[in-house]
């Protein structure tokens, strides 16, 4: 029997896209999975809709946070409740191609990997643009930019013993990848687009000031860089992000 995959989906007011997100999981050619949706909103109106809409989906587990904790803490809660050998991350406004799990887990097994990621397609309004990735990243390369999309990542559940997502509002995934690289986790990317990443006006990643603050925390507090180097790293990261946005728009 194929190894189980636990799919972690934090939810906070993304009802518009959730059906497509979950449908993309149901359509997977790889069938041994569980969906752990962490409802991270004190307002329970969307929860009633979700429970009614997916009441017949036996593979769906819904965890209700008593208050809004943010995506990082919600993912950590989902991981703690997971039963799979593998953990896959999926944001509630993104969705997968149908062979995502099969291709990526086969790739991980062939290469004895602890973590893998893929290239993805960015949806911005009516435009789509493929975002390519490198097969591997050194620590120094990853310090300059984060090309690893969260909704593309699958990791072995044992990695949760190394570290959890840090309590940041943004950049929490970037911080975790950096730590994994430092700890010698074996990871590799597959340059095949397996995910659609939705660039929405409501996205928290649009909060530029918050991203700058969290980027500084990643370098200064979590990676133990000095103040000047941390400021320089934030500048480089921001510059590379602007280059990526320019390519998307052009």
Residues with Cβ within 8 Å of residue 209, at least 6 apart in sequence: none
Burial of 112 (0-12, 13-18, 19+ CB in 10 A): exposed
In angstroms, the CA 141 to CA 107 distance is 23
The confidence score (pLDDT) of residue 201 equals 61
The confidence score (pLDDT) of residue 241 equals 81
Does the pTM exceed 0.85? Answer: yes
The confidence score (pLDDT) of residue 199 equals 81
The confidence score (pLDDT) of residue 65 equals 97
Q: Which domains does the chain have, with CATH numbers?
A: 5-249 (3.90.550.10)
In angstroms, the CA 42 to CA 69 distance is 10
The confidence score (pLDDT) of residue 245 equals 65
In angstroms, the CA 66 to CA 84 distance is 25
User: Between vectors from CA 167 to CA 163 and to CA 170, what angle results, nearest 5°?
Assistant: 110
Which residue in 121, 116, 248, 130 sits closest to 196, CA to CA?
121
In angstroms, the CA 121 to CA 124 distance is 10
The confidence score (pLDDT) of residue 204 equals 47
The confidence score (pLDDT) of residue 138 equals 94
Residues of the chain with pLDDT under 50: 204
């Amino acid at each position: 029997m194929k190894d189980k995959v636990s799919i972690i989906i934090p939810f906070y007011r993304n009802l518009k896209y959730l059906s497509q997100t979950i449908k993309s999981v149901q359509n997977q050619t790889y069938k041994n999975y569980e969906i752990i949706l962490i409802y991270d909103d004190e307002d329970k109106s969307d929860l009633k809709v979700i429970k009614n809409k997916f009441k017949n989906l036996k593979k769906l587990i819904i965890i209700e946070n008593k208050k809004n904790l943010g995506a990082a803490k919600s993912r950590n809660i989902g991981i703690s409740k997971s039963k799979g050998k593998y953990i896959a991350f999926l944001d509630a406004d993104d969705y997968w191609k149908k062979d995502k799990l099969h291709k990526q887990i086969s790739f991980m097994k062939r290469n004895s990997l602890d973590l893998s990621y893929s290239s993805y397609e960015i949806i911005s309004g009516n435009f789509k643009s493929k975002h390519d990735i490198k097969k591997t990243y050194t620590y120094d390369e990853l310090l300059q930019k984060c090309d690893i999309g969260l909704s593309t990542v699958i990791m072995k559940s044992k990695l949760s013993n190394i570290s959890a997502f840090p309590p940041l509002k943004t950049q929490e995934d970037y911080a975790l990848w950096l730590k994994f690289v430092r700890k010698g986790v074996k990871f590799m990317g597959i340059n095949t687009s397996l995910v659609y990443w939705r660039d929405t006006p409501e996205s928290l990643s649009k909060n530029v000031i918050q991203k700058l603050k969290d980027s500084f925390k990643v370098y200064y507090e979590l990676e133990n860089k000095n103040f000047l180097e941390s400021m320089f790293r934030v500048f480089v990261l921001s510059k590379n992000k602007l280059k990526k946005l320019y390519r998307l728009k052009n």
